[in-house]
Amino acid sequence: MKTTESKIRIIPEGGVTSPQGFLAAGVAAGIKNGKKEKKDIGILISQVPAVAAGVYTTNAVQAAPLLVSKESLQKQGTLRAVVVNSGNANACTGEQGLADAKTMQEWVAKSAGIHPDEVGVASTGVIGVFLPMDRMEAGISEAVPLASAQGGKDFAEAIMTTDLVKKEIAVRAEIAGTTVTIGGTAKGSGMIHPNMATMLGFVTTDAAVETNALQDALRQVTDRTFNRITVDGDTSTNDMVLLLANGMAGHDALTSAHEDWPIFLAALEVVALHLAKTIARDGEGATRLIEARVTGAKTEEDAIKAAKTIVGSSLVKTAVFGADANWGRLMMAIGKSGAYVEQNRVEIWIGDIQVAADGMGLSFDEELATRELAKDPVVFRVNLNVGDGEAAAYGCDLSYDYVKINGSYRT
């Protein structure tokens, strides 16, 4: 990974339209309350058909746009456009919700001159409320003609709900003898505990990639990035990540057998990990990112379990918010994680300060440990000392503001 990462360059101010042939726009349509206070409809367009891959929430309750996008992707295998709205999840809306999501496809298709099944649909916001279709139609009609290579930031803004910052990145790498670009944007701040992806994520590339290889790549990278974050332990009804590869870089289609495949995977992971960490750092009411690094686990799966349980523990999260060096909360989380643990072998560090060894507390400088907990990110290191498995997971602290934000989410 380190060797391939050295061949990857981050593009300053890059985003979802950095790859060749991708256009985007974001407009305000008043989706949530009729007031055009913020952008809430985003359009992403590929100038040529793009091979597409998707990963979706494992929540048994799944929103209409997710179901419609999944169906279209299974039919087509390619996409030309994605339409996203914020402020309304179009979830738990029955047959009307499905019809509305398909109508969104049709409106985009008509305006862009493409087939409805070439349009992915995503929504985020309040659950159980029908979409205001008059505003949706007006917003889509306005957005499609505005799509441009400069519209990535407007698209990133349009998909936000309680997010405080736009989440964007793009990278370049030399693959198959040519320059390939991968860009992405995501939204997510609360109801984040993915078992597939993030709240919503959209990744684009001008690389040419074979269909099955693209899907495999997205799943592999998702497992190491979006599936390693948590904000509040809740898995959304609308979680979805779409990856579009339009091939405009001009090389032959990549497969996992290509000699540069590791470079493509590494570049894709750089994009996904940046977005995942940014989501965790932007958790509702959060003040700091938490990173848990677990080594010495019996297996990688055990390391993942322990790391995710640490960053997902409300007690660990509140200890970070209060800068309380209560290492016992980490030990508790490790023990309940389901990972194989031999208590008398566990070692724990808060930043650079070792606070436990052989499963027991050490004498340490509380002031120094408190300083480590005031840093951003806060890094916990755990060595289980029972094997070679290792993994990292990412989360955020839990503050008073999380309750305030979610106590009045609909208003």
Q: What's the token pair of residue 174?
A: 């030399």
> Which is catalytic among the residues 4, 57, 185, 198?
198
d(CA 59, CA 349): 34
Number of H-type helices and E-type strands within the chain: 12, 15
For the CA atoms of 270, 51, 66, 185, the dihedral, rounded to the nearest 10 degrees, stands at 30
User: Computed over its alpha carbons, how large is the radius of gyration of the chain?
Assistant: 22
Tokens for 358, please give them. 């052989």
What are the C-alpha distances in Å from 8 to residues 15, 197, 320, 327, 337? 15, 23, 33, 37, 35
- Active site (annotated) includes residue 198: yes
| CA neighbor of 245 nearest in space, from 216, 277, 275, 278 | 216
At CA 95, angle to CA 108 and CA 93, rounded to 5? 90
Closest CA to 227 of 307, 158, 149: 307
Tokens 């917003």 map to which residue? 139
**From CA 65, how far away is CA 54, in angstroms rounded?**
13
Q: Which residues are catalytic?
A: 198
